[in-house]
Structures are given as structure tokens and as C-alpha cells.
Structure 1
Amino acid sequence: MAQWLIFALLAAVSASFVTIFTKIGIHHLTPGLATSVRAVIMAIFLVAVSFSRGDFHQLKELVMYKRDVAFLIGAGICGALSWLFLNIALKTGKTWQVAPIDKLSVVITVVVSLLIFQEEITMKGIIGVVLIAIGTVFVALA
């Protein structure tokens, strides 16, 4: 099995538990506070991982690659908004309906990446993305 596929599957399993644990964890908390707590825990964990891997030797390169940093800032803001909106939706919605709609990000990512990166997609890929979109609508409206 390809290494990227193993890590992608691990990401999917991890993301699933993020949604499940968040639904349980926001029971008595506001979505904003829950998002903040999760972000702080995530930051501490990731700094520890980067430190243990020796990644901080690249800090000086942040100054050299300002465009990369600007896009990472944008990604951080979009990620925080995604978590916040997900938590708001989970607070009042059913997890089994909220999660598939959140995963519409897959469809949006494919469409935007085709436009921006000029990536090629096969007919099987197109059919798969369309089925994801249709499946999301069926689950959300069930």
C-alpha cells in the first residue's frame, strides 16, 4: 500500500474521532470555547511533535519564504473557521448529518484544485466526486 494512502486513511480515522469527541465535548460548553480548547491542545501537541523531530531548525526559513507563510496563515484562519463552524453545527445538529456536509470539503477541494493547479482528473475521479456530492445530499436530507 502506498505511503500516502496509509497516511490519508489515518487522517480520515483521526478526523472522524475529532467530530465524535467534539460532539461529546461541547455538551456543556459554547462552540467558541470548545474550539479554543481544542486549538490550544493541538498547538501544544504539534509543537512537541515538531520539537521532537527537530523541525525548528527551519524557523529562519520562515523569513525567506514570506509567500508560503502568508498561505499558511490563510490556512490557519480557514482551519479555525472550519472548526468553529463545525462545532456550532454539532452543538445543535445530528452528528451523522453534520459530518457528511463537512466532508463536502472534498468536493470543493477537488474542484478548486482542478482550477488552480490545473490537475488532471479521470472520468472515474469525476464520477467519484459526483457520488460524494450526491451521497452527502442524501445523508443530510434523510
Structure 2
Amino acid sequence: MKTLFQSWQLWAFLSAFFAALTAIFAKIGIENINSDFATFIRTIVILGVLATLLAVTGQWQSPWTVSNRTYLFLVLSGCATGASWLCYFRALKIGDAARVAPIDKLSVVLVAIFATLFLGERLSGSNWLGVALIAIGAVFVALK
């Protein structure tokens, strides 16, 4: 059981599962509210959940132990996440969840490209075929 919880595949699947619930819950939740304000509420909830998780599991660490480089990239990541959430909620407000979510998941394609260009990661031919199929699938799902 311990090795199951150390599997990146399990956590990636759970991420996808909760992302799917996010789309459905958000689409229902933003019916009568501004999408930016909805993102604000969501962010407060996330902060509360994470603070509780850190406290309960004893994973809190002193902010002074984090390097400047780590802070820089976490701040950049946070800015990108915020921009992503704002755009995602705005898209959900005006579009169908079943069409918005696949376009949002084009991030998978962009991550593959960016990881290759900026992180030096290598993907096999079959990996690139999968990336291409994700891109094609997202486009087909988004069509009316």
C-alpha cells in the first residue's frame, strides 16, 4: 500500500479526477456570480485547505529556509496559476464545461513542448504521438 501512495501515476490520476470535479463544480458555482470573484472564493478555500493540511501533517517549514531562486520560481508559478484560473473560470462562465476543459488540457501539449525546450527532457516517438493525439482530441471535442 505504501508504494501505491508513492506512485506518480496514482497522484496524476487523482489530479485529473479532481480537475474534472473542479470543472463541474465551478460551472455550477459560477452561474450567478462574477467569474473573477468566484476565483477569489476558490483561492481562499484552497489556502484554508492547504494550511490545515500542513498543520495536521506537520509539514510546515520556516519560510527562511527557502532559497531566493525557489521563491522566484514559486512566485512565477503562482502568477501563472492565478492567470490560468482567471481564464479558466471566465471560459467556463461563457462556454460549455465539456468543451472548455479539453482546451484547458492543451496544457499537456504545451508542457511537453516546454519541458523539452527548457528542461532538456526527452520524449520518445510514441510519447510525441500521444501528445499529438491529445492536441487533435482537444480540438475535436471543442468543435460544435
Which bracket does the TM-score occupy, shorter chain normalised? over 0.9
Deviations 1:6-37 (A, max 9, x none): 11100100111111100000000000110000
Please give the alpha-carbon distance, in whole angstroms, between the structure 2 residues aligned to 1:51 and 1:107.
Answer: 35
- What number of residue pairs does the alignment pair up? 140
Displacement of 1:58 in angstroms is 3.8
Give the superposed CA RMSD.
1.2
Displacement of 1:54 in angstroms is 1.5
The residue that corresponds to 1:47 in the other structure is: 51
Give the alignment's TM-score, normalised by structure 1.
Answer: 0.94
Displacement of 1:60 in angstroms is 2.3
Displacement of 1:91 in angstroms is 0.6
For residue 34 of structure 1, the aligned residue among 33, 38, 41 is 38
Q: Which runs of 5+ in 1 are unaligned?
A: none
User: How many percent identity over aligned positions?
Assistant: 36
Displacement of 1:51 in angstroms is 1.4
For residue 82 of structure 2, the aligned residue among 80, 83, 91 is 80
Q: Does 1:11 align with 2:4?
A: no
Q: Which runs of 4+ in 1 moved over 4 A?
A: none
Please give the alpha-carbon distance, in whole angstroms, between the structure 2 residues aligned to 1:78 and 1:57.
Answer: 24
The residue that corresponds to 1:95 in the other structure is: 97
Q: Which runs of 5+ in 2 are unaligned?
A: none
Please give the alpha-carbon distance, in whole angstroms, between the structure 1 residues aligned to 2:68 and 2:106.
Answer: 30
Q: Does 1:60 align with 2:64?
A: yes
